Structure 1
Amino acid sequence: MIETRAKQILDFLTTDYKFHTSEDIGKSVGLSSKSAQKEINTLNSIICDEGAIIKSEPGKGYQFKITNNSTFKSFLKTDWYKYAYYHHESGNKKLRIESIIKLMLFSNSYLKQQELADMYYVSHSQINKDIKEVRDILRNYNLKLISKPYYGMKVVGEEKNIRLALRHEIGEDPNLFRNDEDELLFNTIQEVINGIEFPQTFYMPYANFKNLVVHIYISILRISEGKYVKVPEELSTRVISYEEFSMANLIVAKLSSQLDLDFPKDEILYLTMHMITKNSVTNYEKVSPEISEIAQQMIDEVYDVTKYDFRSNIDLFFALSLHLGPLIERIRYGLNMKNPILDDIKENQVAFMLATIAVQPVNKRLKTKLSDDEIGYIALHIASAMDYNVGIKRNILVVCGSGNSSAQMMKSQLERKYKDQIENLTLTNLSRLKLYKLDNFDFIVSSVDIKEKTTTPIVYVDVIFKQRDFENIDNIFNRQTLNEIDKLFSNSIFLKDIDVDSIDQTINILADYAFKKSKLEKNYLIDQFKKREELGPTAYINVAIPHILDKYSKESFCIILIPKNKISWGEVNVNLVISIFFGNDLNFESKFLDNLGRFLNNAELIEKSTKSNNIEEFKNIFLES
């Protein structure tokens, strides 16, 4: 029987009954810190009425406490098995499906549905439903689950795809081990890899080290069963030319002597391919001009579609350039890298949305479609860049009475505090003011009274700024952004209590209203929405943000849709849909998206916004974030 996460966490916490951080707990069961916290909350809900509790303290972590010894002992004897092992219908469905996939992938013989039903103590109809999900998951790896009368079911497909499914669906989870011998093999591989001194040109962080160990472990299990990977001739010539080929031979030589196992040449080539795709480039000088060009195209694509401006962010450019090398090799070799923290990354919906736009040049240039896992890694770089993005930059006119020294003093004070928010500072005095078109500036900072008529806001200050002067300048920066966000919402569409329950229905409604607003063809809009969803669902938790991928050249607007009932959107149900069309008329998108990011991370505001009766109410709640 397979242990659940709940049992693994309980076992870890009760080894010493001391405080442990979520990071430590996560590492012990192969989860991220946030995922571990969710599992701890689930376990707490199980045991809180059964004589035990997991208490948490800031700075210390989590500690297991028995509050009623007799009650807890009784629970362990009578009911704990329901939650500790995955073996019957009331168990965790996700774990059951993982277990069935593992069983199918490792099995060389046919399995009958009734055998599975008996094994997991579930009904035949429940196994039928599970098998349907298993088929869908296997299809992602170009694998089929075939049926043969009187024999049962069996997985068929290319060996490399079976291994890919094993690595991604089972991973380095303890469930990967079928017995103690498997665990011993895994540990032996780790020791061998640890003992090899790789050249400095091969950079292997911890995550890549674990990936390599899992890759070799699965390969050895399959080789021992007579299952081999075939590498096409046209690839083998290219692969042999890499430095990683000699490293792969070194690894194989050490493992062969220790395990008394022969590795065919194709298996060494396959290991080399894996190492090439995992070797993280750390020196920008090794990045090719082609890769640099793609990195710039990614940044330009984000700006062209959303106006979020990373074009001067050299750190993001370098980060993308360094990331793209191994990514392109993975695409060429048909490999994929599982992203263990994808769910956590998707919580930053804005960064993930921008990443799906950023990867379009990669998809077009290499004629591929990047997976959510790969997009997630791009989203990490974008999220980091967003933290340092300053948003809108302003063109400011500085006006003084007459002396140049006064203007220079005002300029230096503005640059000292607002340097990253200023596009251009123009200095002038009152006598030369008529030479400028005042309406062309975002705002004016002046130490003297200005008589000329202008629609441009004016902030009056002392030559040496007082605290109130800085506050007034802060207000003008913020007010202009709010005015532009207000302009977007005033041009938007608000739909309440819409009777819709599927993605396709929602897309059809969005396309209807967007067609009337934008005059873009409805079929084109539907196609754009669907292409985006094919990259991965745009919903997370209870909000969907479907959007088109192409540039939109007219006036920006949103469609806010609040359905009558929750909409089934991929694996989640949503009660709010925000579809954004970024045009060329506004210059605030980065601030708007920053605000959207904060809004999407505030469950209370999201719930409150679904009670809105009009666009004005929705906007006010949105701005609370």
Structure 2
Amino acid sequence: MRFPNQRLAQLFEMLQSETLPQDELARRFAVSTRTVRTDISALNMLLADHGVQLVLSRGAGYQLVIEDPERYHRLQAEQPAHLRVPRTSGERVHYLLTRFLTSAFSLKLEDLADEWFVSRATLQNDMAEVREYLARYQLAIETKPRYGMKLFGSEMAIRTCLTDLLYEIALEDVENPLLNLEALNSGMLGTLEPLLQGCFSRFGIRLSDDSERYLRLYCAVAVRRISEGYPLNDFFADDVDDDVRDAARHIINLMRPICGKAVSPAEEAYLRVNIAARRVEALAPSAINADDGEQLVEYILNYINLHYNYSLQNDTQLRADLLTHIKTMITRVRYQINIPNPLLSNIKQHYPMAWDVTLAAVSNWGKYSPYVINENEIGFLVLHIGVGLERHYNVGYQRHPQVLLVCDTGNSTARMIQAMLLRKYPQIVVEGIVSQRDYEQMDDVAADFVISTVRVSEKEKPVVLMSPFPTDYQLEQIGKLVLVDRTRPYMLSRYFSASHFCIIDRPIDRTELFQQLCQQLEQEGIVDETFYASVEEREAIVSTMLGDGIALPHSLGLQARKTAVYTVLAPQGIAWGDEVAYVIFLLAISKDDYEEAMAIYDLFVTFLRERAMPRLRASSDFSSFKAVAIDCLSRL
């Protein structure tokens, strides 16, 4: 049986597993209830010869009624693939990747379009993302007229790509048909799970749950590839620890009868490397013998101290954590084994300061090393560096409320009030104590608010009237002002200015933009002539796009003479690698302000979290930009 369109196939699949009313069906398919009734009638006509009908049950909805079980079961047996239809573009990309990575023959988009009830043009659009994904593994699709498309690349790359893909899918849905029916032999993951767990336990191999899941997927992929006649024959690796070598040999012996074919020594060598790259080290730092790891830890910590003023060299806990992680990381980068980091995007968005510090150090070390450390690995290192920064520095900088105390009853009373305030609200900073006469002669007040024992006028700052022995109400009024978050608004007023704000509503490329902004900052004496080159170098390492059209270009290290943020709004957008930036913040941060650097980054994370880019981009001048920014900050 062939369904005339994809919606009928999805409707039949849905109603086989549950009873649904027509209102719910209309909502799920974004159609009218009349269309649902028409589709049900069409389905019933198609199903008439297969012993099954869809019947409306009042109060419940449409349900499947089997009139001839034998014919219905025959329908299920004959048409299993048609009941697994990718519905969205993302699902189609996954299915296409799986087909290319597992097919021994050429594929034609026309055939797949018929099977999945979509047009060939739709699949052609999806192929751009498929090719991009495969290119990361040096895999390519070649097209021959009349024959179709076929995947070309090394066997190791095919296995790595397929395993990474299945791992990503498993994180979202362990019941996905691609895992259980399409890409792997049916039931293989369930067969391998107890075998691998028993092996790792027997040989004392400690693995995280994610690492064990990945190795199980790789073994399942290897079983299929070997059984279909695609072995690994050209992989050699250095020796590993005895327990890893014994575990890999034991697993290969378990896989031989499952594969039904001979297993080459290269298969065992590659499995050894995969286990070594993912095991959890339980050794004490003094017992780890990894010269490269020691050098990398030393280089990273020295670089951070030299370029960012954060001294972490004496943190023994951080050294131990980094060394334990880096020992297995070097095994991975040596053999180009990629471990997906599901938290990478969150790490980059929510810990941008620690990300930049670590990225700069690792990238600079890469100039003197044969290894290439990818973003996933850097993300894991960021977590260790971030914890070290939190242990030793106030990286979560907060501006404490600045208070001016006005008191006319004598010095002893003023000191008593000050002590009482600090006992009640230790975060308060009393920046000065003045008399009423001195206060009234002041042109303005720099403090955030004023506490006075006498009635005084306001000078654009809140005033709280307080007796020497304050009431609960008075303390409550002070508390409301103390607990206001002043950090982000303070950063906004201190480091953002109209002189460093512009709207560029014309085509411009990223390099021209950097030259224009850096030239102005250099003329103002904020940065020197090396700043522009450093900004370009940082951008070349990894894109500084934070997300949602917001970019944060900056230099490697804290190179500015004083801190400033240059804000650029680009309504037409500026090409930023594979993305487009509409709001750009060029950061120039000096070493004098490194304690506050984290709070500066936190401003942009807030804009991202509040989805503020469209409102910021629509600002007509600096005042309206600042109003939008303050509104975003006030919601927290």
Please state which band the TM-score falls in when normalised by the shorter chain.
0.5 to 0.7
> Where does residue 565 of structure 1 map in the other structure?
572
Q: Which residue of 1 aligns with 2:509?
A: 505
Alignment of 1:92-111 (within 5 A): 92-111=88-107
Distance 2:101 2:489 in 1: 55
Q: Is the 8 A contact 1:304 1:551 kept in 2?
A: no
The Cα of 1:324 is off from its aligned counterpart by: 2.6
Quote the offset at 1:201 in angstroms.
5.6
Name the aligned partner's letter for residue 340 of structure 2: K
Q: Secondary structure at 2:187's aligned position in 1?
A: helix
Q: Give the Cα separation in 2 of the matches to 1:445 and 1:13.
A: 74
C-alpha distance in 2, partners of 1:281/1:412? 52
Distance apart, 1:139 and its partner CA: 1.6
* Aligned residue among 220, 244, 253 for 2:223: 220
- Pairing partner for 1:138 from 134, 142, 146: 134
Instruction: Give the 3 Å change call, closer, same or farther, for CA 229–616 of structure 1 in structure 2.
Output: farther
1:526-555 Cα shifts (integer Å, max 9, x gaps):
784475365256242342333333442322
Paired AA for residue 236 in structure 1:
D
Conservation of the 8 A alpha-carbon contact between 1:302 and 1:354: no
Deviations 1:96-143 (A, max 9, x none): 232222222212333345545555555555555444433322221112
Q: Tell me how far 1:573 sits from its aligned partner.
A: 5.3
Q: Which residue does the alignment assign to 1:608?
A: 615
Give, as a single letter, the amino acid of the residue that structure 2 aligns with 1:109: F
Aligned pair count reads: 544
SS in 2 for 1:588: helix
- 2:334 aligned partner: 332
198, 201, 209: which one aligns with 1:198? 201
Inter-CA distance 107–618: structure 2 relative to 1 (3 Å threshold): same
Say which is worse superposed, 457-466 or 101-110, in terms of deviation: 457-466
Q: Measure the CA separation in 2 of the matches of 1:256 and 1:362.
A: 41
- Superimposed CA distance per residue, residues 155-196 of structure 1 (whole angstroms, 9 cap, x where no aligned partner): 222221111111123334541444597131221111211333
Partner amino acid for 1:191?
Answer: P
Tell me, yes or no, if the aligned pair for 1:255 and 1:261 is still in contact at 8 Å.
no
Asked which structure has the greater RCO (Cα within 8 Å, sep 6+), the reply is 1
Matched, 1:535 2:535: no
Report deviation, 1:559.
2.5
One-letter amino acid of the counterpart of residue 273, structure 1: V
Residues 168 and 513 of structure 1: CA distance in aligned 2, closer, same or farther (over 3 Å): same
Q: How does 1:78-89 map to 2 (within 5 A)?
A: 86=85
| 2:165 equivalent to 1:169 | yes
Tell me if the contact between 1:101 and 1:134 (Cα under 8 Å) persists in the aligned partners: yes
2:590 counterpart residue number: 583
- Match of 1:391? 397
C-alpha distance in structure 2 between counterparts of 1:411 and 1:289, whole Å:
55
CA distance in 1, matches of 2:151, 2:337: 20
Give distance in 2, aligned partners of 1:566 and 1:68.
53
CA distance, structure 2, for counterparts of residue 291 and residue 412 of structure 1: 53
Q: Does 1:276 align with 2:276?
A: yes
Q: How does 1:355-394 map to 2 (within 5 A)?
A: 355-366=355-366, 367=369, 368-380=371-383, 389-391=395-397
Q: Where do 5+ consecutive residues of structure 2 fail to align?
A: 20-24, 35-56, 65-79, 171-175, 403-409, 439-444, 453-466
Counterpart amino acid of 1:512?
Q
**Superposed CA offset, 1:270-304 (max 9, x none):** 11111111112355535567646645654665676
Distance 1:523 1:145, change over 3 A: farther
Partner SS for 1:145 = strand
Q: Which amino acid aligns with 1:153?
A: M
1:541–1:572 contact (8 Å) kept in structure 2: no
CA contact (8 A) 2:509 2:575 kept: no
> Does structure 1 conserve the Cα–Cα contact (< 8 Å) formed by 2:252 and 2:268?
yes
CA displacement at 1:216 relative to structure 2: 0.8
**DSSP 3-state at the match of 1:209:** helix
Amino acid at match of 1:246: D
SS at match of 2:199: coil
> 2:220 matched to 1:208?
no
- 1:601 deviates by 0.7
Q: Distance in 2 between matches of 1:212 and 1:522?
A: 50
Superposition deviation, residue 247 in structure 1: 1.5
Aligned-residue offset at 1:566: 4.8
Q: Does residue 182 in structure 1 map to residue 189 in structure 2? A: no
1:254 equivalent to 2:254? Answer: yes
Distance in 2 (alpha carbons) for counterparts of 1:143 and 1:522: 42
2:559–2:589 Cα contact (<8 Å) kept: yes
Quick check: 1:561–1:577 contact (8 Å CA) kept in 2?
Answer: yes
Equivalent of 1:544 in 534, 546, 551:
551
Q: Using the TM superposition, give the Cα deviation of residue 369 of structure 1 relative to its aligned residue in structure 2, in angstroms.
A: 4.3
Matched, 1:157 2:163: no
Q: Is the 8 A contact 1:448 1:460 kept in 2?
A: no
Contact 1:350 1:593 in 2 (8 A): no
CA displacement, residues 51-108 of structure 1 (integer Å, 9 cap, x when unaligned): 9xxxxxxxxxxxxxx99855899xxxxxxx9x98646xxx522322322222222123
Between the aligned partners of 1:198 and 1:374, the Cα distance in structure 2 is 26
Contact 2:534 2:556 in 1 (8 A): no
Which structure 2 residues correspond to residues 419-498 of structure 1 after superposition, within 5 A? 483=490, 485-490=492-497, 493-496=500-503, 498=505
Contact 1:292 1:321 in 2 (8 A): yes
**Match for 2:269: what amino acid?**
L
Once structures 1 and 2 are overlaid, which stretch shifts more, 463-472 or 554-563?
Answer: 463-472
- Residue 59 of structure 1 corresponds to none
The alpha-carbon deviation at position 335 of structure 1 amounts to: 0.8
* Pair 1:198–1:85, CA change in 2 (3 A): closer
1:515 partnered with 2:519: yes
CA contact 1:301–1:358 (8 Å) conserved in 2: no
Q: Report if the CA contact (8 A) 2:159-2:221 is conserved.
A: yes
Identity of aligned residues (%): 17
Other-structure match for 2:562: 555
Distance 1:92 1:243 in 2: 45
Cα distance between partner residues in 2 of 1:199 and 1:259: 23
Counterparts of 1:203 and 1:490, CA distance in 2? 54
Amino acid paired to 2:355: A
Contact kept, 8 Å, 2:304 with 2:361, in 1: the verdict is no
Could you report, residue by residue, the CA deviation over 1:355-390 in whole angstroms, capped at 9, with x for unpaired residues? 254133333434444434334434555677769954
CA displacement at 1:243 relative to structure 2: 3.0
Paired letter, 1:276: A
